A and B are shown apart, each in its own frame.
Chain A
Amino acid sequence: MNVLLFASLTLRELVRRRLVAAVVLLTLVIVAFTAWGLHRLATAQVDGAPLGDAAVHTASAGIVILLAFLFSFVLALGAALVGAPAMAESVANGEILAVLARPVRRAELVLGRWLGTVVALGLYVTATGGVELGVVRVTTGYAPPHPLTALAYLAGVAAVVTTCAVALAARLPALAAGIVAALLFGLAWIGGIVESIGIALGNRGMADAGTVIALIFPSDALWRGALYALQPAVFTAVAANASASQTVNPFTVTSPPPPALLAWACGWIIVVLVAAVALFRTRDL
């Protein structure tokens, strides 16, 4: 019960501190800019003739993937910079002292803070992603093959990064925890590219190194799932038939992440949360 109490406190704080208002405002600006650009694409003319639907849809598919890629970075940064303070700030400024002197388990605080942050990020992904994909559909008529699956994967990326940030913030100051979580996300992305290069070149060592990084921090595997869900079948076919050098492309994948990796990502979140609780339970305040 206290978990939900701390989760709702976390959400209320995000709303009251005007973070939500600022994000909504900036998102509307980005959406308006995207809508303007896509409208220009849909009404563009080449040699006096409008672009055909196929050309507009292909270009739109590429733009959607690029937007999703940028969004995943913003999301990861947001997850790190919201999750870490949610956990560490009240410890650093002393707000938590009077709270934890109540009949409250420390695990309830950790899980509540985590849940509140994950719910906030999930709502952000759903709202922003949904509006952006809606704008693409209205302006160009294009819809990616599995938009809801893609949004779920992106929410998974946010959950992985924020889980890491919360766990680190159970012991570290908010800024350090947030930066480390964001850097780990970047490392995982580089690890994904190293793995792709290793597979393309038949270099077992590089492929294994990438796999190890994906196991340590599974955000890139989830990003690839989002990418696969947004990718039209023609992109997948091209990627599958590409030469080795062309395969090393961070914006195309040939298959979704295997179920075992998804299960690992879920298990990873649980294990890291348990570690966060253990770290915080043994901390003197």
Chain B
Amino acid sequence: MGFLGPNGAGKSTAVKMLVGLVRPTAGEAEILGRPLGDLRVRARIGYLPELFRYPDWLAAREVLAFHARLLRLEHAQPAIDAALEEVGLRERARDRVGTYSKGMQQRLGLAVALLGAPEIVFFDEPTSALDPVGRSDVRALIERLRARGTTVFLNSHLLGEVERVCDRVCIVDRGRVVAEGAVGALTGEARGARVRLDDGWHEYDVAADEIPELVARLVREGARVHAVEPKQTTLEERFIALVRHE
């Protein structure tokens, strides 16, 4: 589930409400069938905050051991090893967090969120400190989680990232949901097509179902058609159309 919105839309605040850090001023909500703030539910969720910080005087393994005790995990060591392996931090697990780069701290945050195999994980801007390789790793991680049946609630500014890994998307603006649905339903085909002829690309204003007729007409007229690209509405275009206030 991708959670999108412009700065100040209320994305992080909404996530904080879901994990029990901020109290709603009105309304009700449930998570995993229980009201917000229920302690039993909190044992079944993982959370990577946007502002990720962990005690710099502890080693990564100690941070995870502390969280394992908060979760009362019975088999803490294998769970800690698995979480470290998942985010690629196993070799630096005994180093103090203070010696980590920002990207490594974000990886540690992901490991903390994944500890105890939660049913839902909330990632608030999980790649903000990562390089392209790290971003790719996180995309792969999200896909592995999805394959295991874990719900990933991804709050991100990177629309391409959300488009690639999310099944559903929710767009919020000024504290309200302005669009919600499957990624395909929010993006999809748009009016227009680009056609490459001998002399280069040409744009045609046609509906998607009129493209075969357009190609047939061009061929009849003697043009040599090399490629046809139906226009697509990207998530970014849809997002900007929804949240731009002019």
> Do the two chains bind?
yes
Residues of A within 8 A of B (CB): 2, 5, 9, 13, 16-17, 90, 93-95, 97-105, 282, 284-285
Q: Which residue of B lies closest to A18 (CB)?
A: B57
B113 at the interface (CB under 8 A from A): yes
Q: A94-B51, A95-B54 are in contact. List 12 more A-B contacts (CB 8 A).
A: A2-B70, A5-B66, A93-B53, A94-B52, A97-B51, A98-B67, A98-B113, A101-B42, A101-B49, A103-B70, A284-B22, A284-B23
Q: What is the bound-complex CA distance between A97 and B13, given in angstroms? A: 12
Q: Which of A90, A97, A282, A285 has the most CB of B within 10 A?
A: A97
Q: What is the bound-complex CA distance between A17 and B55, given in angstroms? A: 11
- B49 near A97: Cβ-Cβ < 8 Å: yes
Q: What is the bound-complex CA distance between A97 and B15, given in angstroms? A: 11
Q: Which of B16, B48, B57, B71 contacts A17 (CB 8 A)?
A: B57
Q: What is the bound-complex CA distance between A102 and B43, given in angstroms? A: 6
Chain B residues near A95: list those with CB within 8 A: 53-55
Tell me how far the C-beta of B112 lies from the nearest C-beta in chain A, rounded to whole angstroms: 5
Q: Which residue of A lies closest to B62 (CB)?
A: A12
7 closest Cβ pairs, A-B complex: A94-B51, A97-B49, A101-B47, A101-B19, A102-B70, A94-B53, A103-B39
- B21 near A13: Cβ-Cβ < 8 Å: no
Q: Which residue of A lies closest to B109 (CB)?
A: A98
Chain A residues near B58: list those with CB within 8 A: 16
B69 at the interface (CB under 8 A from A): yes
Q: Which of A99, A105, A285 contacts B39 (CB 8 A)?
A: A105
Q: Which residue of B lies closest to A13 (CB)?
A: B57
Chain A residues near B49: list those with CB within 8 A: 94, 97-98, 101
Q: Which of A2, A90, A101 contacts B21 (CB 8 A)?
A: A101
Q: What are 6 A-B pairs with beta-carbon distances under 8 A?
A: A16-B57, A97-B16, A97-B51, A98-B67, A101-B20, A103-B43
Tell me how far the C-beta of B22 lies from the nearest C-beta in chain A, rounded to whole angstroms: 4
- B113 near A100: Cβ-Cβ < 8 Å: no
Chain B residues near A282: list those with CB within 8 A: 23
Q: What is the bound-complex CA distance between A19 and B238, given in angstroms? A: 55
Chain A residues near B42: list those with CB within 8 A: 101-104
Q: What is the bound-complex CA distance between A9 and B71, given in angstroms? A: 16
Tell me how far the C-beta of A9 lies from the nearest C-beta in chain B, rounded to whole angstroms: 7
Q: With contacts A13-B57, A103-B40 known, is A97 near B21, CB below 8 A? A: yes
Chain A residues near B54: list those with CB within 8 A: 95, 98
Bitwise, B15-55 to A at CB < 8 A (1) or not (0) is 01001111100000000000000011011010111011111
Q: Which of B22, B23, B71 contacts A102 (CB 8 A)?
A: B71
Q: Which residue of A lies closest to B69 (CB)?
A: A5
Q: What is the bound-complex CA distance between A285 and B49, given in angstroms? A: 11
Q: With contacts A2-B70, A5-B66, A16-B57 known, is A100 near B20, CB below 8 A? A: yes
Q: Which of B39, B55, B113 has the most CB of A within 10 A?
A: B55
Chain B residues near A17: list those with CB within 8 A: 57
Q: Which residue of A lies closest to B13 (CB)?
A: A284
Tell me how far the C-beta of A281 lies from the nearest C-beta in chain B, rounded to whole angstroms: 9
Q: What is the bound-complex CA distance between A94 and B50, given in angstroms? A: 9
Chain B positions 1-21 with a Cβ under 8 Å from a chain A Cβ: 16, 19-21
Q: Which of B22, B43, B47, B72 contacts A98 (CB 8 A)?
A: B47
Chain B residues near A16: list those with CB within 8 A: 57-58
Q: What is the bound-complex CA distance between A97 and B67, given in angstroms? A: 12
- A103 near B71: Cβ-Cβ < 8 Å: yes
Chain B residues near A94: list those with CB within 8 A: 49, 51-53
Q: Which residue of B lies closest to A90 (CB)?
A: B55
Q: Which residue of B lies closest to A17 (CB)?
A: B57
Q: What is the bound-complex CA distance between A104 and B67, given in angstroms? A: 10
- A104 near B70: Cβ-Cβ < 8 Å: yes
